[in-house]
Structure 1
Amino acid sequence: MSEKKFHVNLAVLATGMMAFSGVLIETAMNVTFTTLMKQFNISTSQVQWVTTIYLLMISIVVPLSSYLMKNYSKRQLFLAASTLFLVGVVINAFSVNFTMLLAGRILQGAATGIALPLMFNIILTKVPLEKRGMMIGIGNLTTSIAPAMGPTYGGILTTKLDWTYIYIFLIPVLIISTLIGLLAIPKEPVTKNDSINMTAVMALSVMFTGLLCFFSYATTWIGWVALVIGVVGAAFFFKSNSKKQLLNLSVFKNKMFTTYLLSFLMFQVLLLGISFILPNFVQIVLDAEASKAGMMMFPGALVGALFAPVSGTILDKLGFKKPVGIGSLLAIIGWASFIVTLHLGIIPLIILSHVTYMIGVGLAYSNVMTVGLSSLTTDLQDDGNAIFSTLQQFMGAVSTSFVAIIIGFFQTSSSDYAQGTLTGATVSVIVLLVFLVLSVLAVLKTFKEN
C-alpha cells in the first residue's frame, strides 16, 4: 500500500491507547496491594512484583525494538502487541492465584514493550519535524499521565467493585484500539535483513533481573547475590553487544542526548515513586479508603494531561528552553513541598503539591525526550528511542522497588506502623528531590551551551 494511506494520527492513537492501558494498570494495582496481600496471603516484598515483573518484561523486550522495526512491518508488530495484551488482561481478569496474576502481567509487559517504541517510531518516521514536538507530547501522555490516573481508576474499582474489574473494563478499550490500529496501519513490505543477537538478549535479561532483584531485596543477602549476578550479566552484555549490536551504545557519546535522557529518567522515577508513596500514605497514615487515595491524584493527572501536548506546541514554536526550564523548576517546587504537606496530613495541600509538580512534568517531561532524540542523527534515532523506552521502564521498576524498601525499612523499625510509613515516605521524597535537583542543574547547564 502507498505511504499516503498510513493514518498517522489514528496509528498513534491506537498504539497510545495500548501503552496508556499498560501504564494505567501499572499504578492502578498499587492501591490494591493491601487487598492482594490478604487475598493471596503474600508479603509486601512479594506483592510489589505485580508492578516490577511487568516493568522488567518491558525492559527486556524494548531493546529488541530496533531489530523488530527493521525486520517486521508496523502492522505485524501492532497485531502481536494487541494479541499479547488482550490475552494478558483476560488472564488477570479471572486470576485465582498470585502465579496466574503474574503470568498475565508478563504478557502485558511484553505487549507494552512492543507498543511503546512502535508509537514513537511512527511519530519519528511519519510526522514532519515541525509537528514532532506536539506529537511526542501527546504520545508521552501515556507515560506521564497514566501513572497519576491509575490510582484513581484502581481505587474506585477496588472499593466499589473488585480489583479484577481493573482488567475487565480494559477489554473493550483494547478491542477498540486493535480495530483502530488495523484500520490506520497498512501492510508495508519489509525485507528481513538481520538476525538477532540472542546472547546479548539473554545477558541483558540477566542484568536487568539481577539489578531489580537487588533493589527489591537489598536488605537481605539475596539482594547482594542478585547484584553480583546482574553485574556479571552486564559484563556479558557489553562483550556480546560489541561483537554484534543489539543496542547502539554510541548514542551516549552525544552529550545532549545523555543529559536529556537522564533528566527524562528522573521524571519517570518520580512519577512512579509518587504513585506508590501517596496511595500507601493515604491508606495507612490517614486511614482512608483506596478510592480516596486514588481520587486525590486525579487533579494532578488532569493538569498534566492538559499541559503535555501544549508544551510540545510551545517547543515547536519557541524552542525547548522555556518549557523545559519553567517545567523543571515547577517540578522541584511541587516535589519539595511534599516534605511539608505530607507531615501536615491535609489532603487539599497534598493535592496542591501534586498539581504543582504535574504542571512541571507536563511542561518538561515529553520535551526533554524530544530534545534528546532530536539531537541524534536520523540513522541513530531508532536506537535512541529504544534506549529511552528501555531505561524508562527499568528506572520505573527501580523507583517502585527503591521506595518500597525505604518505606518498608521504616515501617518495620518503628513501633508505630503509621508513623514508620510517614517517615519512610518523607525520606523517599527527600532522596528523590536531591536526584531531581541534580538532573535539572545538568539540563540548565546545556542552556548556556546551545
Structure 2
Amino acid sequence: MSNLYEKRNQIVIPFLIAAFIGLFNETALNMAFVEIGRDFGIEPSTVQWLTTGYLLVLGIFVPVSAFLMQRFTTRQLFTAALSFSILGTLIAALAPTFSVLLIARIVQALGTAIIIPLMTTVILMVYPIEKRGAAMGKIGLVIVFAPAIGPTFAGVILQEFTWHFIFWVTIPFLLIAIFVGIRFIENVSEVQPTKLDVVSFILSTIGFGGVVYGFSISGDLGTFLAKEVYIAVGLGLVSLVLFTIRQLKMETPMLNLKVFKYPMFTLALFIVLAAMMMLLSVMVLLPIYMQRVLLMVPMIAGLLMLPGGVINALMSVVAGNLFDKFGPRAMVPTGLGLAIISLFFLTTIDTETSSIFIIIMHILLLIGISFIMMPAQTNGLNELPRELYMDGTAIMNTLQQVAGAIGTAVAVTIMSITAAKNPDPYLGLVDGVQNSIIFGLVLAVLAFIISFFIKRVSTVQMK
C-alpha cells in the first residue's frame, strides 16, 4: 500500500482526464440541441434523449461496477472504459442520423459507467483518510466542472463548426489518457473469482431503466399522467423492490446494501442526488432559454456560462482543502444556502433579463454546488469500512446518474407542459423555464433542512 501512496498522483491523473471527458460529454451537446433538432427535424423533447439516454445507460451499468472491480484488474477496466469512450466518440463525430448519434452516446456512456466509480474507488484506496478531502476535491473539480464547462466549449465550437466537432476535439484527450494510463496505472485491489448474478443484473436494469425511461418519455408525451409513464415507472419500482430483497438475501450480492446502515452515507447520498438534479437540470434549461428566448447565438450563450465553470473549478479544489480542516457541517449547509439564493432569483428570469444577472446567478449556483457535492460525498464514503468502498462508490455513482437523468427529464417536461399552455411561444417558454427552476429550488430547500443532521466522520477511526 505504501508503494501505491507514493505513486498516487501518477495513478490518478489519467483517471481525472478520462472522467473529465466522460462528464464533459454529459452536457456539451446541450448547447447544440437547437442545431441538432433543426438538422434532424425533431423536437427538443426528442433531442433531450442524447443527455437522458446517456445518463440512463450510466444508471443501468454503474451498478455492475462493484462486480467488475472484483472480477478484473484496475488496468483492464481502465483500458476497456477508454476503448468504449473513444469508439463512441468517433461514431458520434461521424454520425449522419439522429439514431446513429444516439447509439454513439450509448457506447460513450458504457465507458463513463466504468471509469467514474473506478476512479472514486482508486482514490479511496491510494489516499489515507486524513488526505481524502483534497483528493476528492480533484474529483469534485471533474464531476462538477466538466459538465459545467461543456456548454461553453460547445458554444465556441458551434460558432465556426458543426456540432460534430464537439466530439472531434475530445478524441485527442482520450488518446492521451489511455496511453498515460497504460503506462502508469497499477492494480489497487485483489481480483476475486466472483460471478455476476444475472437475475440481479436484469432486475437492476429494468428497475433503474424503467424509472428513468418513464420520466423521460413524459417529455415526449407532454405530461406525467400518461399510461405509458405509469407503466414504465411502476415496473421500474417493482423491479427495484425485488432487486433489494434479492441483494439482502444473497451471501455475495451484486451490490451490498449494508452501506445504508451507515447514517452519514445515507444522508450524504440524498444531498448529493438533490445537487445533481439541480445542476444538470439548470445545465439543460439555461442554454435553451438563452438561445430561444434571448435569441443568443451558441457561442455567446456558452461564454456566459464560462465564468461559473472556471470559478467552480477553483472552488472545488478549495472546498477539498477546507473539508480536511473543517469537515462538512459548515460547508454543506452554506453551499445549499447559496444554491437556494441562486435558484430563487433564477425563477424571475424573463424576456428582458440581462446577461450580467445570468452570469452572477450561475456563478453563485456553481460555488454552492462545489461546497455541497464533494464534502457530502467524501464524508459519507469515509464512514464505510474498507470492504464496502466498491459498493458505496457504485451505489453513490449509480444513483447520481439516475437522479441526473430524472432531473433533466422532469425539468424538460415541466418546461414543455407549461409552454404548451401559453399561446405566445416566447412567454410560454419563459414560464416553463421558471417553473422548472422552482422544481430545483424545492429540492434545494429539502436538502438544506437535511444537511443540518450531518456529522463529521472521525479521521482516526479504524477502517
What range is the shorter-chain TM-score in? over 0.9
1:325 counterpart residue number: 333
2:48 counterpart residue number: 48
1:235 counterpart residue number: 241
Helix, strand or coil for the counterpart of 2:42?
coil
1:125 aligns with 2:125: yes
Q: What amino acid maps onto 2:231 in structure 1?
A: V
1:29 aligns with 2:37: no
Q: What amino acid maps onto 1:297 in structure 2?
A: M
1:226 counterpart residue number: 232
Helix, strand or coil for the counterpart of 2:194?
coil
1:435 counterpart residue number: 443
Q: For the residues of structure 1 that align with 2:455 and 2:132, how far apart are their CA atoms? A: 21
Q: For the residues of structure 2 that align with 1:441 and 1:179, how far apart are their CA atoms? A: 45
- Most deviating of 318-327 and 4-13: 4-13
1:22–1:108 CA contact under 8 A, matched in 2: yes
1:112 aligns with 2:112: yes
Q: For the residues of structure 2 that align with 1:56 and 1:146, how far apart are their CA atoms? A: 19
State the shift of 1:440 in Å: 1.3
1:7-156 pair list within 5 angstroms: 7-156=7-156
User: Percent identical across equivalent pairs?
Assistant: 33
Q: For the residues of structure 2 that align with 1:163 and 1:383, how far apart are their CA atoms? A: 37
User: 1:56-102: per-residue Cα shift (whole Å, max 9, x none)?
Assistant: 11111111111111121110000000111100000001001111111
Helix, strand or coil for the counterpart of 1:140?
helix
1:248 aligns with 2:256: yes
Q: For the residues of structure 2 that align with 1:398 and 1:389, how far apart are their CA atoms? A: 14
2:126–2:188 CA contact under 8 A, matched in 1: no
Q: What amino acid maps onto 1:177 in structure 2?
A: A
State the shift of 1:198 in Å: 1.3
1:406–1:427 CA contact under 8 A, matched in 2: yes
Q: What amino acid maps onto 1:158 in structure 2?
A: L
Match of 1:382 among 382, 390, 395: 390
Q: For the residues of structure 2 that align with 1:213 and 1:188, how far apart are their CA atoms? A: 35
User: 1:30-75: per-residue Cα shift (whole Å, max 9, x none)?
Assistant: 1111211122222222211111111111111111111111121110
1:283 counterpart residue number: 291
Q: What amino acid maps onto 1:102 in structure 2?
A: L
2:412–2:436 CA contact under 8 A, matched in 1: no
2:4–2:126 CA contact under 8 A, matched in 1: no
Q: For the residues of structure 1 that align with 2:135 and 2:184, how far apart are their CA atoms? A: 16
2:293–2:351 CA contact under 8 A, matched in 1: no
Q: Which runs of 5+ in 2 are unaligned?
A: 459-463
User: 1:170-191: per-residue Cα shift (whole Å, max 9, x none)?
Assistant: 1100000111111221367844
2:369 counterpart residue number: 361
2:461 counterpart residue number: none
Q: For the residues of structure 2 that align with 1:181 and 1:298, how far apart are their CA atoms? A: 29
Q: For the residues of structure 2 that align with 1:414 and 1:323, how far apart are their CA atoms? A: 41
Give the RMSD, CA atoms, in angstroms. Answer: 2.0
1:312 aligns with 2:298: no
State the shift of 1:342 in Å: 4.8
User: 1:146-168: per-residue Cα shift (whole Å, max 9, x none)?
Assistant: 12111111112123201000100
1:341–1:353 CA contact under 8 A, matched in 2: no
Superposition TM-score, scaled by structure 2 size: 0.93
Q: For the residues of structure 1 that align with 2:29 and 2:450, how far apart are their CA atoms? A: 34
Q: For the residues of structure 2 that align with 1:277 and 1:363, how far apart are their CA atoms? A: 22
Superposition TM-score, scaled by structure 1 size: 0.95
1:176 counterpart residue number: 176
Q: For the residues of structure 2 that align with 1:382 and 1:189, how far apart are their CA atoms? A: 10
Q: For the residues of structure 2 that align with 1:96 and 1:328, how far apart are their CA atoms? A: 42
Q: For the residues of structure 1 that align with 2:352 and 2:85, how far apart are their CA atoms? A: 41
Q: For the residues of structure 2 that align with 1:235 and 1:316, how far apart are their CA atoms? A: 37
Q: For the residues of structure 2 that align with 1:7 and 1:180, how far apart are their CA atoms? A: 13
Helix, strand or coil for the counterpart of 1:391?
helix
Q: For the residues of structure 2 that align with 1:133 and 1:448, how far apart are their CA atoms? A: 12
2:4–2:188 CA contact under 8 A, matched in 1: no
2:328–2:455 CA contact under 8 A, matched in 1: no
1:155–1:290 CA contact under 8 A, matched in 2: yes
2:74–2:189 CA contact under 8 A, matched in 1: no
1:306–1:362 CA contact under 8 A, matched in 2: no
Helix, strand or coil for the counterpart of 1:194?
coil
Aligned CA distance change for structure 1 residues 429 and 179 (closer, same or farther; 3 Å): same
Q: What amino acid maps onto 1:360 in structure 2?
A: G
State the shift of 1:347 in Å: 1.1
Q: What amino acid maps onto 2:69 in structure 1?
A: M
1:263 counterpart residue number: 271
- Most deviating of 128-137 and 374-383: 374-383
Aligned CA distance change for structure 1 residues 270 and 188 (closer, same or farther; 3 Å): closer
User: 1:366-395: per-residue Cα shift (whole Å, max 9, x none)?
Assistant: 111011111222222221111110001111
Helix, strand or coil for the counterpart of 1:62?
helix
Q: What amino acid maps onto 2:144 in structure 1?
A: S
1:420 counterpart residue number: 428
Q: What amino acid maps onto 2:424 in structure 1?
A: D
State the shift of 1:4 in Å: 4.6
State the shift of 1:449 in Å: 11
State the shift of 1:7 in Å: 3.0
Q: What amino acid maps onto 1:428 in structure 2?
A: S
Q: For the residues of structure 1 that align with 2:432 and 2:318, how far apart are their CA atoms? A: 35
- Most deviating of 150-159 and 225-234: 225-234
State the shift of 1:325 in Å: 3.1
Q: For the residues of structure 2 that align with 1:191 and 1:261, how far apart are their CA atoms? A: 28
Q: For the residues of structure 2 that align with 1:272 and 1:341, how far apart are their CA atoms? A: 18
Aligned CA distance change for structure 1 residues 350 and 186 (closer, same or farther; 3 Å): same
Helix, strand or coil for the counterpart of 1:446?
coil
Q: What amino acid maps onto 1:115 in structure 2?
A: I
1:6–1:185 CA contact under 8 A, matched in 2: no
